[in-house]
Amino acid sequence: MTQLVGTAESAVVEGADTAPVAPPPPAPLRGLQQHATALRLGGSLLAVILGLAFASMAGSYYVFVGAQFFAFVIVTLSLNLLFGYGAQIVIAQGAVVGLGAYSFAIMVRHGVHPIPAAVAAVLFTMLSSLVVALPALRLEGLYLGIATLAFQFGLSGLFAAWDAVTGGQQGLALPQVQGAHGPFNNDQFWFVVSGIGALLVLLGTGRFVRGSGGRAMAALRQSVYAAQTLGLRPVRWRMLIFAISGAMSGLAGVLLAGQIAFVSPASYSTDRTLLFFLAVIVGGVRSVAGSVLGALVAVVLPQLLALLGYTDNESLIFAALMIVALITLPDGLVTLPRRLAALPSRLASLRGSRRAAFADNGSQEVGHDGK
């Protein structure tokens, strides 16, 4: 079955629903492709070494922002999996992340060791995501979005109102577990854990979307009926990506809760959900690298603006930059290198067409004069 799908979907490339068959890469790149696994492993190892060096040398502020960035990478990847690859409009990611955070916090407060608590929180969020997936079995597009938005509102209300369990609007503080951080301080510990989590999720998501899962998603995006004729079961695939995305969001929730040792409804509100969406779309829909760029924009850019002294109107500048990014790069920041590479040929083509138009105009004017 998978083989069949793979054949049918060989024409679909990442980032485009209707793209033609991708041209073969240049010879040097073909050589690199043959060693892709080794390159990924090497790159991952390098990232871990650089991350550890950063965590040991950078100040607590930078390490904290880095940890937040890693958690956001996981959230944007989870949303991209649903929204980009799965074409499921889900406007509840903030609440789903909150489920992971709250369930982790509640268990730790009840004396469960953080590691089993984190595993249980991820599993619980994964199962809960299947509840969010139920409307997806009957609804599509914006109708599904609205149904999931109701889920967001409901969970936000629950976080805020269930005082006895969630601490209500005041939230819940997480107790510090003595000796749990090993050789690291609190910020370094969560940076390392979040970084490893983000790296594993990145590699796993990349593998999934490049493999049969990605091809099945692409087939279902283009035509559910055509995909069914290939033997794909849309319900099964939808539930699967909801479950995977839910587990990823649960992990992000655990990390976000651990990083500040606190959970409250404000961190998992509709505002947050919109920010996650923004990150995915600005970074690049249906792109793993785009998810990383989106997280960078959502977490690091506001801090960068603040460091540069734009504290008066940081959010206004941020919003303006986002609008400019979408207008100039509608397919996301991830397409920037491709667009820059194509710029000389586009400019040349533009100049050529202008010359042609000018020549054409000149001849028309002559014609108008009738002389």
Partner 1 sequence: MASKLARPLFLGAAVALVASACGSSNNTTTGGGASTGASTAAAVKATGTPISLGWVGTMSGSQAGVIAVEKQELGGAQAYFGWLNDHGGVDNHPVQISIADDAGDPNTGLAGAKRLVEQENVQAMMFVSGGPIASAVQPYLVSKSIPLLGTAAPLLCFFQPVQKYTFGELTPYEYQGSALAQYLVKTKGAKTVAYAGFNDVSGKSFGQSFLNTARSLGATVTGTSYFNRGQTDFAAYISTLQGQKPDAVGFFASIQETAAVLKAAQTSGFQTTWAWGPGGTNPALVQLAGPLAEGTYGVSPYLSDTSSDQSVKDYRAALTQYQPSITSGPYTQFGYVLGRATADALKKASGTYTSEAVRTAMESLSGNYGMFPAFQLSATNHLLNRGIQVVQYKGSTLQSASQLINVDPTSVTPYPCAA
Residues that bind partner 1 (CB under 8 A): 17, 59-61, 64-65, 68, 83-84, 87, 89, 140-142, 160-161, 167-173, 221, 256, 259-262, 264-267, 269-272, 274-275, 277-278, 281-282, 285-286, 302-303, 306-307, 311-316, 318-320, 322-323, 326, 330
Q: Which is nearer to partner 1, 7 or 328 (CB)?
A: 328
> Which residue lies nearer to partner 1 by CB, 235 or 320?
320
Residues belonging to the chain: 371
Cβ distance to partner 1 smaller for residue 39 or 307: 307
Q: List the beta strands (DSSP E) in 156-266.
A: 172-173, 262-263
* Residue 171 backbone zone (phi > 0: left; psi -120 to 50: alpha; other: beta): left
Q: What is the CA radius of gyration of the chain?
A: 24
CB of 371 to partner 1, least distance (A): 49
C-beta of residue 41 within 8 angstroms of C-beta of residue 199: no
Q: Which is nearer to partner 1, 36 or 226 (CB)?
A: 226
Q: Minimum Å distance from CB 54 to partner 1?
A: 15
Query: And the tokens for 67?
Result: 């940890």
The least distance separating partner 1 from the CB of residue 161, rounded to whole angstroms, comes to: 7
For the CB of residue 323, give the shortest distance to partner 1 in the complex, in Å.
5
Closest CA to 329 of 276, 287, 274, 300: 287
Please, what is the minimum distance in Å from the beta carbon of residue 176 to partner 1? 9
Query: Which lies closer to partner 1 via its Cβ, residue 64 or residue 124?
Result: 64
Q: Please identify, using beta-carbon distances, which residue of 33 and 315 lies nearer to partner 1.
A: 315
Say if strands 262-263 and 172-173 run parallel, antiparallel, or are unpaired.
Answer: antiparallel
Rounded least distance, CB 233 to partner 1, Å:
19
C-alpha distances out from residue 366 to 89, 297, 354, 360, 362, Å: 56, 54, 18, 10, 6
Specify the residue, 193 or 282, whose C-beta has the smaller distance to partner 1.
282
Q: How far apart are CA 202 and CA 175, in angstroms?
A: 30
Q: For the residues of 28-68, what is the DSSP string, one character each?
A: HHHHHHHTHHHHHHHHHHHHHHHHHHHHHHS-HHHHHHHHH
CA distance 35 to 58: 33
Least distance to partner 1 from the beta carbon of 316, Å?
4
Q: What is the DSSP letter of 263?
A: E
